[in-house]
Amino acid sequence: MTRTVQTPRPSRFGDLFDMLTDRGRALLRWRDGAGRVTAPPGLPQMAELLLSRRGEASGVALARALVTAFEEADEAKRLEFLLALADRFGPDPGAVGQALAAIQAQPGSVEAIEALHTAAEPRRQELFRRLNLAPGGTAALVRMREELLGHLRDNPGLRRVDSDFAHLFASWFNRGFLVLRHIDWNTPAAILEKIIRYEAVHAIRNWDDLRGRLQPTDRRCYGFFHPQLVDEPLIFVEVALTRAMPDTVAPLLDLDRTPIDADRAGTAVFYSISNTQRGLAGVSFGNFLIKQVVEELKSELPNIRTFVTLSPVPGFAAWLAQAREGGDMLDDELRAALKPLDQPGWHVDPDAAQALREPLLTAAAVYFLRARDAKGRAVDPVARFHLGNGACLERLNFGGDVSANGLKQSHGLMVNYLYDPGRIEANHEAFAERTEIAASDAVRRHLPALTPKEKP
Amino acid sequence: MTRTVQTPRPSRFGDLFDMLTDRGRALLRWRDGAGRVTAPPGLPQMAELLLSRRGEASGVALARALVTAFEEADEAKRLEFLLALADRFGPDPGAVGQALAAIQAQPGSVEAIEALHTAAEPRRQELFRRLNLAPGGTAALVRMREELLGHLRDNPGLRRVDSDFAHLFASWFNRGFLVLRHIDWNTPAAILEKIIRYEAVHAIRNWDDLRGRLQPTDRRCYGFFHPQLVDEPLIFVEVALTRAMPDTVAPLLDLDRTPIDADRAGTAVFYSISNTQRGLAGVSFGNFLIKQVVEELKSELPNIRTFVTLSPVPGFAAWLAQAREGGDMLDDELRAALKPLDQPGWHVDPDAAQALREPLLTAAAVYFLRARDAKGRAVDPVARFHLGNGACLERLNFGGDVSANGLKQSHGLMVNYLYDPGRIEANHEAFAERTEIAASDAVRRHLPALTPKEKP
Amino acid sequence: MTRTVQTPRPSRFGDLFDMLTDRGRALLRWRDGAGRVTAPPGLPQMAELLLSRRGEASGVALARALVTAFEEADEAKRLEFLLALADRFGPDPGAVGQALAAIQAQPGSVEAIEALHTAAEPRRQELFRRLNLAPGGTAALVRMREELLGHLRDNPGLRRVDSDFAHLFASWFNRGFLVLRHIDWNTPAAILEKIIRYEAVHAIRNWDDLRGRLQPTDRRCYGFFHPQLVDEPLIFVEVALTRAMPDTVAPLLDLDRTPIDADRAGTAVFYSISNTQRGLAGVSFGNFLIKQVVEELKSELPNIRTFVTLSPVPGFAAWLAQAREGGDMLDDELRAALKPLDQPGWHVDPDAAQALREPLLTAAAVYFLRARDAKGRAVDPVARFHLGNGACLERLNFGGDVSANGLKQSHGLMVNYLYDPGRIEANHEAFAERTEIAASDAVRRHLPALTPKEKP
Amino acid sequence: MTRTVQTPRPSRFGDLFDMLTDRGRALLRWRDGAGRVTAPPGLPQMAELLLSRRGEASGVALARALVTAFEEADEAKRLEFLLALADRFGPDPGAVGQALAAIQAQPGSVEAIEALHTAAEPRRQELFRRLNLAPGGTAALVRMREELLGHLRDNPGLRRVDSDFAHLFASWFNRGFLVLRHIDWNTPAAILEKIIRYEAVHAIRNWDDLRGRLQPTDRRCYGFFHPQLVDEPLIFVEVALTRAMPDTVAPLLDLDRTPIDADRAGTAVFYSISNTQRGLAGVSFGNFLIKQVVEELKSELPNIRTFVTLSPVPGFAAWLAQAREGGDMLDDELRAALKPLDQPGWHVDPDAAQALREPLLTAAAVYFLRARDAKGRAVDPVARFHLGNGACLERLNFGGDVSANGLKQSHGLMVNYLYDPGRIEANHEAFAERTEIAASDAVRRHLPALTPKEKP
């Protein structure tokens, strides 16, 4: 016979916590079994509590308490919690054992396999879903993973926690939930200061510099936002509207240039694209962002027919240094012609620069079209991103960025990737399946003929 | 040696589709291998395409095409697609086989179990995530599941598709992503007409009736919304602010009553709570909604100290009919006393009503506190909801709803459930773990003494 | 020597009122000279107080008190106040006398004339400006004038108060301060119910009828709003997008019709335009509204080339009755031909209707093009509005509205006025300066030849 | 007989202008009488056109054309137009003559006086109302007056144009039409950069400085906005929430200070209040702004009981220099004691500063409480503002601002004005009617006894 209880009644066992309300903010006061106020439990215990029955009734309050406790704990305690996630919040061994037994009993049963899938879900996935109940929970989880990423090298066991984060974030930050927003000079300062902080390609020096990228008629900036992270762009792209495809970056960033009417522009240049949340590493936004911005611009400004990037080549100088040492990527003649690179200040010496132009472009063509890394991929990370999106390597720009950084990473080389909506899929497929690199004739022309032994 | 390709170039294999743009809306034109325009493929083929490499490059367009094709297909084709989801988009057998072998090689390895979890994920989960890329994709998936639910009885194999929907929706519609919004007379009509349509407890007859529930100073309505479903409340609750706990519903719904100042109210009555999306069945919102509305009201109107429902008892009349037939729930004396229930119009005959009051309340106490269904649960579904949330059964109201429907389902009985923030967890835990039912003394007093044989 | 006062100190004279704060709402407590709490003064005294020094310091509180007291007073007291405005709040006689003397001293001095202008401003203008400080003050003033208009006939002295209202409202409700808003099915219900209430041309029966005018793809509705009257459209126009210029209204209002794609429409039909605020009588919005809506539609839907109304002819039947009695507008032949109009139900008798068509259109042409009222203006008020806006009378539609009301006011006649942006100014100027009426050839063709004596 | 015209028809007289549409922007093409395209007319002719019949039909386009032409004209042409406003757009002499004759015919007739008021309205008032039809017209008129103010000294005839601007702006920018907005770190950058630019009291050096005034929990900023000037605060006030009334400004502006919880503050300090629009000179906002902010803060933070300023004393040093020269404001003893003021750097010499404290505070008390300017008003402009609002001079702060500017304008003196809601009206009335200055005992204690000859 079930029993009925009278309410209110004193708790027989003492509650583990009471909810207190202080100016609309729920707090928890922890009690021991005898009802005495006590210190809060450790983070792993709180996580167990959140996964328990009690977590069902008081999920929001408990989730908030755990999030707060984690963020206020010192670094050692936080790492301890992350390690506990790896060790103690994996799949439930009992449930997995039963599911495996069922499979052995019915080999090939789809039901059994699907039951196993459910049984083998690490408990931390449900924990993360419950932590998300806390106000600000999504942002807190993203920060938690950011912290975890910093410990990965020394604690490879955390990798399995990371992959649960990655799985969940891929679902929560699905493109279908993101909102594209125009970022301009009417955007709240709280967001704009993040644009300044997160710009990863061409640093924004100050607010005047920022205004120069947002306010002129021939500049645009777009970002993806998630409804739960209102002040945080997840990724943003800066766009210049120009008459022709640019080959150097300095004029684009010049605050004193004269803007053109947006109606007069024929080309949109994606000159900077920056991810902002390290905690969302591996969730891919850039691909969708560029394509949606292309749609936006085509609809707003039908005169724009060409969509290109002006991109850095961050891996070129390092690769070239090695290739000049040895290997069969470059031949001796080219190696000799590249000698002047070692002379400091060559880029301000017109003769030296002129002499280097062709050899460097040839080397660059090799770098993009022939070189592969240990995994067989294109060497340049920016190239992998744009080619993987279905863009095509359109032009190599000698002296495109002669800032100190530009010289250091790529001997001043910049490139344009072209987004041609009609070719994007074919390029993507060829790149992904057959490692074929889409490149214009103009680029391929720089490629030296293959020596007999290189021929496939 | 990898190859480079020149862009643009004619496709060697013929593209399966082109993207067309018609007034900003991407369309697909399907082609066969020879490049000839052709009819679009079937829904399952489109789903395979969306899961393929090509889906990576053109996910948004393909997802939209599949969503549109599904919604425009006839019912038979749609069912065929749902069955294909069950049969052909389960876990990848090869990957599962490898993962199982790895487990046998390393019994007890957590890595192996977690790898198995990943391998055993049904392919339709990724398919649903990709479908969500389509504009309106989330809503389309919710509708797709709603349709699927209608086929479950005749096609039990769909149950596994349903559980993937349920898993995904529980993650996407996590409370952390929902927004509580006040619904009032300034709310857009497009939302208000859905309130009229979805109200499940006390039907809203027309717009005047609706205004009477939203505009007066002593009425409130709140709903949860998801950022992707802007015009669709997921669940909403209607609240009356009153001086005391009400025992009948008619005065609450009377359009001619005189409203009171919200400041003068001491009690908030949740007199109607309605879920709206059949496609989100099993994703629990009501619990969170009531608790958050309690917080909102406490902060806006500190004079309100009592939070109760005025609830129907939908299972009572059916249960009572059976109990009067036989079984040991009611004794003979009570059965005799309940006879006048069979006399039509008893509720308008003061003597008959008076004679029935006590017997009916006694039977109701048995119904709530002793009766259990085949699964051992409280019989009444509304009771299960509120008691499961941690509320307490506070009062039984004889003649609370003497409308035709009220008489039919519960002989006019209504009840109040009390949400006492300080008791919610204990009540929930007792109910969930030990099937204990929280009830006030006033309710328990109606319970007949147990006969010797019933004593535990 | 000026004196300094110490603060706080007891008031020497007793304050006339204290400000109290009750839940954020300022109240006034009135005191007599001895500081005793007393009844509030009469409305005119409060108005004097608001115009005094004290009104400078406590304008907001006093304005609110006066607005509230006016609205809570009974009708007699309110009329008394309006009459006091006329009698006691006109120009300051002393200031006017001085200004007149200055003009006599310096005849023709522009300075003296401008000083006189200032001196002769009725004091109620400043009173109205100060009343506007009250929360909701603008709306209260509009209601106050609405009430005043109802008393004008019996109290012609109020006319001068009315003209001050009109002057002020023309300035405050200047087109430059109005906001055009699209009204659709996402508009708040609080605004939509006003659309239902204020529709003056083709009554909206219920919310379904309203939805039929807002939601279909080929319907639009626009209104002007003032920032201070957020829930109140000042004027709104309902628009149907059609393939061709319509000649009857019933198909436009039919809830069962099949909407067309907005992109397919070539014509925009303004089929109803309604002012909402009687208190803003004489402030002209309609002219601006139609022209701005034309701009909006041209920009949104470039396929739309024709902008017309489908308008009632409210003065036609009354004028025709008189013209059939006597006078020289109609000749005997026409009078005879119009006889069947007296036969009830002629419009459902095809022969009778056919016989009446030409005579009625001829009479209508005379009505529009030759008839004038006592002031020499076009007789029809709707015609005066559209022709005054620069529209042209494009077509006469026999049997355009055979509802009871349509038959009664115009024997079923409706007309189209054409807004041709290229002709609007010339039409307006010809109409305003030379009473020339812009009409199409098709309309003029119905006009009978002038008899010799009529020739100019 | 009136004539009818057929539409379309060629204009008989040649239109003065055509409307062209270029990407949604109406342009005008001017034509001469023969229909030939010609140069646009001068600004005064355009103004006459706007006031004509044609202006009724094409007000928006003509207003825009005139606004644009004015802003694109050179300075000489613009001044010429302003002078034409003064000379040629005053009252209509004919109408005034008639109205004067009517008054002589009926001396004392209120109707006649009110008719005269109307007749004597300068024509430029209607011109300004029509200019306001242009998109951005309100802002353009405010700029036009700002320019006019710069010419007033050399062209005193413009004063009458200015008074028409002032009259109109007082009506349009009536407090009832202004919106109070919280300005914080989520405010659009386009508004924030204006806060930086317009801050008139304590300059904001850069965006970090701005953030320090907006983002901390114990800082607030509020501004009044007009619906037509969305990006332009009209006036704003910066507020610090503190435990006690501050006596020096440097700690308030220190970016490194530790903020306190807003809940812990008992005092709100208005430390800077800035008007932004020179073109709105004479339209008073500050009074209303401070009072409404007091209401806002009282409602948000009930712990705040004290509302004070920390204000500069901009007229003190200049007045003191004169008073030390001669006159009877200071006696010889005080003059002698003030000598060390002439020693540069006295404020960093503790002994000198200590010696000066009392004499300077005595002189300051005389400055505030006894000194009057030529018009009999308090000398200090900031004092006139706050005392006129009904505040009380609460405290004199020796060394409150020892910046170079603070020393120069007031020998480092700052003061607190107290806004005590219960005393505001009495203070205002005493100040406005009897020049009584509300001051605390603490301030009055510094006042030297009156010498016999000074006694009233």
For chain B, 456 residues long, give each residue's pLDDT as a single digit of tens. 445 444 333 333 333 444 443 333 345 667 666 667 777 788 999 999 899 866 666 778 889 989 999 999 999 999 999 999 999 999 988 898 898 899 888 887 888 888 888 898 999 999 999 999 998 999 999 999 999 999 999 999 999 999 999 999 999 999 899 999 999 999 999 999 999 999 988 889 999 999 999 999 999 999 999 999 988 999 999 999 999 999 999 999 999 999 999 999 999 999 999 999 999 998 888 888 998 999 899 988 989 999 999 999 999 999 999 999 988 899 999 999 999 999 989 999 999 999 999 999 999 999 999 999 888 889 999 999 999 888 999 999 999 999 999 999 999 999 999 999 888 888 888 888 788 899 999 999 998 876 544 444
- First-to-last CA distance in chain C? 82
Look up B386 and say whether it is catalytic: yes
Q: Coil, strand or helix: which one is A8?
A: coil
- Percent of chain A's residues with pLDDT above 90: 65
The pLDDT tens digits for D11-51 are 333 334 444 433 334 456 676 666 677 777 889 999 998 99
Which chain C residues touch B if contact means CB-CB below 8 Å? 23, 185-190, 192-193, 206-207, 211, 231, 263
Chain D nearest-CA distance from C360, in A, is: 19
Model confidence at A58: pLDDT above 60 = yes
User: B37 CA to chain C: closest CA distance, Å?
Assistant: 27
Please tell me the least confidently modeled range out of A449-453, D158-162, D169-173.
A449-453
Chain A: nearest CA to D305, how far in angstroms?
A: 19
Peptide bond into B312 cis (omega under 30): no
> In whole angstroms, what is the distance from residue A33 CA to residue A36 CA?
7
Instruction: Write out pLDDT tens, residues D280-333.
Output: 998 888 888 998 999 899 988 989 999 999 999 999 999 999 999 988 889 999
Residue B121 is nearest to which of A100, A117, A430, comparing CB atoms? A117
Band (pLDDT 50/70/90 cuts) for residue D215 is very high
**Cα B60 to Cα A176, A287, B45, B69, B452, distances in angstroms:** 9, 11, 16, 14, 69
Angle at A432 between CA A428 and CA A435, to 5 degrees: 105
What are the residues whose beta carbons fall under 8 Å from the beta carbon of D261, sequence distance 6 or more?
A: D217, D218
Of A188, A211, A231, Cβ closest to residue D187: A188
Residues with Cβ < 8 Å from A137, sequence gap 6 or more? A63, A64, A67, A131, B176
Tell me how far apart the alpha carbons of residues D444 and D436 are, in angstroms, rounded to a whole number. 13
| Low-confidence stretches of chain C (pLDDT beneath 70) | 1-29, 31-35, 53-57, 450-456
Residue with tokens 């300035």: C171
Catalytic residue, from A386, A410, A411, A446: name it: A386
- How far is it, in rounded angstroms, from Cα B425 to Cα B256? 39
Q: Does chain C touch chain B (at least 3 C-beta pairs within 8 Å)?
A: yes
Neighboring chain B residues of A432 at a CB cutoff of 8 Å: 53, 56
For chain D, what's the residue count? 456
pLDDT higher than threshold 80 for residue A310: yes
Q: How far is C187 from chain B (nearest CA, A)?
A: 5
| Cβ-Cβ contacts under 8 Å, B122 against chain A | 114, 117
**Closest chain C residue to D109 measured between Cα atoms?**
C93
What's the confidence (pLDDT) of residue C6? 43
For residue A435, give how far its alpha carbon lies from the nearest alpha carbon of chain B (Å).
Answer: 6
Please tell me which of the candidates D189, D207, D211 has its beta carbon nearest to residue A187: D189
Q: Do B188 and C187 touch (CB under 8 A)?
A: yes
| Catalytic one of A58, A272, A274, A311 | A311
Nearest to A240 by CA among A225, A222, A218: A218
Distances (CA, A) of D154 to B9, B106, D149, D159: 74, 97, 10, 11
Determine the pLDDT at residue B62. 87
Q: Determine whether the interchain pair B207/C211 forms a contact, defined as Cβ–Cβ distance below 8 Å.
A: no
Indicate which of A185, A196, A300 best probes the interface with D, i.e. most D CBs within 10 Å of its own CB: A185
Q: For residue D149, give the H/E element and its range.
A: helix D137-151
Look at D389 and C57 and tell me if their CB atoms are within 8 Å: yes
Contact list in A for residue D186 (CB cut-off 8 A) is: 188-190, 231
pLDDT tens, position by position, C97-108: 898 899 888 887
Please work out, in degrees rounded to the nearest 5, the angle formed at the alpha carbon of residue D256 by the alpha carbons of D253 and D260: 80
Q: Which of C187, C206, C231 lies closest to B189 in CB terms?
A: C187
Best mutation target, C22, C207, C264, to test chain B (most B CBs within 10 A): C207
Cβ-Cβ contacts under 8 Å, A227 against chain B? 177, 179, 227
Closest of D135, D248, D236, D143 to residue D182, by C-alpha: D236
The torsion angle over the Cα atoms of residues D55, D56, D60 and D64, rounded to 10 degrees, is: 10
* Nearest residue, CB atoms, B430 vs list A5, A138, A434: A5
pLDDT band at residue A278 using 50, 70 and 90 as cut-offs? very high
* Complete DSSP assignment for B422-455: TTHHHHHHHHHHH--EEE-HHHHTTSPPPPGGG-
Q: Do D7 and C116 touch (CB under 8 A)?
A: no
**Distance, CA of A261 to CA of A217 (rounded, Å):** 6
Residue B103 and residue A100: Cβ atoms within 8 Å? yes
Q: Are strands A306-309 and A219-225 parallel, antiparallel or unpaired?
A: unpaired
Give the burial class of C163: count Cβ atoms within 10 A of its Cβ; 0-12 exposed, 13-18 middle, 19 or more buried.
Answer: middle
Candidate from C1, C117, C392 with C-beta closest to D454: C1
**Cα separation, A105 vs A108, whole angstroms:** 10
Number of H helices, E strands in chain B: 20, 11
The bridge status of strand C437-439 relative to strand D4-6 is parallel
Instruction: Indicate yes or no: CB of C454 within 8 angstroms of CB of D1.
Output: yes
d(CA D91, CA D161) in angstroms, rounded, equals 12
CA separation for the pair B402, B408 (Å, rounded)? 9
CB contact under 8 A, B295 and A57: no
Concatenating the DSSP letter of every residue in B371-420 gives ---TTSS-S-HHHHHHHHTT-EEEEEETTS--SHHHHHHHTT-EEEEE--
C-alpha–C-alpha distance, residues D38 and D51, integer Å: 21
Inter-chain CB pairs, B–C, below 8 Å: 38
Residue from B386, B410, B411, B446 carrying the catalytic annotation = B386
Catalytic residue among C58, C274, C311, C410: C311
Whether the predicted pLDDT of A4 surpasses 60 = no
Return the top range by mean pLDDT from A32-36, A118-122, A268-272, B196-200: A268-272
| Residues in contact with D228: Cβ distance below 8 Å, sequence separation at least 6, in sequence order | C176, C177, D138, D139
Q: How far is D24 from chain C (nearest CA, A)?
A: 7
Q: Which residue has the tokens 């080219």?
A: A334
Of residues C386, C410, C411, C446, which has the active-site annotation?
C386
Q: Which string of DSSP letters, residue by residue, matches D57-82?
A: HSHHHHHHHHHHHHHHS-HHHHHHHH
Residue whose token pair is 């137009």: D81
Contact B417, B387 (CB under 8 A): yes
| C232 neighbors C276 (Cβ within 8 angstroms) | yes
Structural domains in chain D plus CATH codes? 12-172 (1.20.140.90), 175-309 (3.40.630.180), 312-444 (3.40.630.150)
Q: What's the pLDDT at D17?
A: 44
Interface touch D2/C422, C-beta < 8 Å: no
Q: Flag whether pLDDT at A254 surpasses 60.
A: yes
CB-CB under 8 Å, C190 with B188 = no
Which positions in chain B touch C206 (Cβ < 8 Å)?
206-207
Instruction: Choose the closest CB to B187 out of C189, C207, C263.
Output: C189
Catalytic annotation on C311?
Answer: yes
Catalytic residue among B58, B274, B311, B410: B311
Compute the distance between CA of residue D27 and CA of residue D19 in angstroms, rounded to an integer: 6
Gap from B5 CA to chain A (nearest CA, Å): 5
Assess whether pLDDT exceeds 90 at residue A207: yes
- Element housing C414 (H / E): strand C414-418
With CB atoms and an 8 Å threshold, state whether C390 touches D57: yes
**Tokens describing residue A184:** 């301009």
Q: For residues B314 and B405, give the distance between their C-alpha atoms in angstroms, rounded to a whole number.
A: 10
